[in-house]
Amino acid sequence: MSKYLRLLGAVAVVGLMTSSAYAQNMGYRYNGPWESPEENNIRSALYDHRLEVDRGFRHYRMRKECGPIDFVMSLRQDCFASFDQYEPFGRY
């Protein structure tokens, strides 16, 4: 009987652990109420625009995103180069 109780307990533990993985919400949150995918696209476009027209914002984001990469210098240089490749400055 105790063998079945242990088996039932193990099944219950595994069941509880896996059920929480399926219960994740797919909403987006940005400083307040839930953000719709359309709002997320608008914020993303604004971010890209600011990278292309605001030199101070661009340098701030480059330092923030690429600065911590100090363990492989070629990776850090690739990070800085990606800004020029995907959001070239002065496009507008």
Q: Where are the domains of the chain?
A: 27-92
Classified as helix, coil or strand, 48 is helix
CB neighbours of 34 closer than 8 A, spacing ≥ 6?
A: 27, 28
Instruction: Provide the residue-wise pLDDT of the chain in tens; the chain has 92 residues.
Output: 576 667 666 656 556 565 555 555 555 555 666 888 899 999 999 999 999 999 999 999 999 999 999 999 999 999 999 998 888 888 65
Alpha-carbon span 39 to 33, nearest angstrom: 11
Show the CA angle centred on residue 46, arms to residues 87 and 88, nearest 5°: 10
Q: Tell me, what's the pLDDT at 20?
A: 53
